[in-house]
Amino acid sequence: MAFFIASSPHAHSRRSTPDLMKWVAICALPGLIAQTYFFGWGTLIQLVMAIVIALGLEAMVMLLRKRPPMSALRDNSALVTAWLLAIAIPPLSPWWVIVIGLIFAIVIAKHLYGGIGQNPFNPAMVAYVVLLISFPVQMTSWISPVELQATPISMGDAFSLIFTSFNIEGLSLQQIRTGIDGVTMATPLDSFKTALMAGSTASEALTQPQFGALAGLGWQWVNLAYLAGGIALLKLRVISWQIPVSFLASLFIVSGLFMVITPDQTASPIIHLFSGATMLGAFFIATDPVSASTTVKGRLIFGAFIGVMVFIIRSWGGFPDGVAFAVLLANMCVPLIDYYTKPRTYGH
């Protein structure tokens, strides 16, 4: 008999890596449906395009490495990477944005380090950060939710905007992004930060039309949908509770503390929890079994560190949402965290 040594991720169950990745995609469906409802068909178009490109890149790299491509395609890791990147970028981003992002995710962030189990950073977040820094205009061109759209966007319009930058009637993306009040819409976190920099108080910033009962219109429901999917992942024991719970708890505690200290300059903990990519990051990104911490205590520290960094970047950084940057910074710290949180050897 041959003894095979395999790299992580290692799961304490009879489930295989393809099965775990499949459940991650299935549990992300509620969030995908919510995003499609509030932000249009562009999300689905980006997702289909991303999956096709990612699988093609995965097969090509495996052939170049002189390894069987089907083994890599069957593990579903490329599918999950494509899924996460597709839902993280604005739905009407030009087609070449997702192509460049997946080249970085699959070829550089994953296979340059040896493939699945060897990458020190989350591939989708590496691609997202590269895109955000390189193409800030395209990566921040989010459209307003359906309630605030002055021009309804059909599937044909979304397809045309992604591949030609104009809709069927000849309107540009900039014109499409104009809301019902005639103002080009930004994400709620960006609008909140901009209002504070302009001298408004937090309560004044929240009177803008893109804010709802919990957080931003559309975004609050998207986060609730990913929260439901994340709870399903916990119930199925696909992920452990330590990272998402410590992530959300630290973000809640730190934002609550600063809200008490500077109430006019800080968003409430509820806004932080249900805005941007908070729930997606807590349950679907930070819990990556390869790039996250592997010890129980380490996962708690890892998640708490991400939550604190998300608040710091959102409050004082140059970007409205900091989930991707926070996850990558935490990935850098994993060897140190794991070294100092190793469980005691049995018998010692």
Q: Under 8 Å CB-to-CB from 106, ≥6 apart: which residues?
A: 54, 57, 58, 61, 78, 81, 123
**Closest among 260, 265, 246, 262 to 310, alpha carbons compared:** 246
What is the distance between the alpha carbons of residues 219 and 270, in angstroms, rounded to a whole number? Answer: 12
Q: Are 275 and 189 in contact (CB under 8 A)?
A: yes
* pLDDT tens digits, one per residue of 218-235: 899 999 999 999 999 999
Return d(Cα 36, Cα 48) in angstroms, integer. 13
Render pLDDT for 34-50 as a digit per residue (tens, 0 to 9): 999 999 899 999 999 99
Of 172, 175, 171, the closest CA to residue 184 belongs to: 175
Q: Residue 26 has what pLDDT? A: 94
State how far the Cα of 181 lies from the Cα of 310, in Å rounded to an integer: 31
Mean pLDDT for the stretch of residues 252-259: 94
Is the model's pLDDT at 185 over the cut of 80?
A: no
Q: Is the per-residue pLDDT at 2 higher than 90?
A: no
Q: Which of 117, 82, 114 is nearest to 101 (CA)?
A: 82
Average pLDDT, the chain: 88
Q: How far apart, in Å, do the first and last CA atoms of the chain sit?
A: 34
User: What is the rounded distance in angstroms from the CA atom of residue 233 to the CA atom of residue 183?
Assistant: 39
pLDDT over threshold 90, residue 348: no
Residue 212, C-beta contacts closer than 8 angstroms, at least 6 positions apart? 220
Burial (Cβ within 10 Å: 0-12, 13-18, ≥19) of residue 18: middle
Q: What is the pLDDT of residue 182?
A: 43
Answer yes or no: are the C-beta atoms of 282 and 240 closer than 8 Å: no
User: What's the pLDDT tens digit per position in 304-346?
Assistant: 999 999 999 998 888 878 899 999 999 999 999 999 998 877 7
Q: What single-letter amino acid sits at 107?
A: V
And the tokens for 262?
């500077």
pLDDT at 3: 53
Confidence band, pLDDT 50/70/90 cuts, at residue 14: low
Beta-carbon contacts of residue 58 (< 8 Å; ≥ 6 apart): 69, 72, 73, 78, 106
Q: Using the 8-state DSSP alphabet, how is residue 289 labeled?
A: T
pLDDT surpassing 90 at residue 75: no
Handedness of CA 153, 158, 164, 165 (dihedral sign): positive
State what percent of residues in the chain have pLDDT above 70.
93
From CA 296, how far away is CA 289, in angstroms rounded? 13
171 vs 92, residue with greater confidence: 92
31 has pLDDT over 50:
yes
User: Using CA atoms, how far apart are residues 185 and 33, in angstroms rounded to an integer?
Assistant: 22
The answer to whether residue 4 scores a pLDDT higher than 70 is: no
Instruction: State residue 114's pLDDT score.
Output: 87
d(CA 348, CA 331): 30
Nearest C-alpha neighbor of 40 from the set 138, 124, 156 = 156
Q: What percent of the chain has pLDDT over 90?
A: 57
Residue with tokens 């093609």: 56
Residue 149 has phi, psi (to 5 degrees) of -80, 125
Give me the mean pLDDT over the 126-130 stretch.
95
Average pLDDT on 11-24 reads 78
What was the pLDDT predicted at 264? 84
Q: How confident is the model at residue 19 (pLDDT cuts 50, 70, 90)?
A: confident
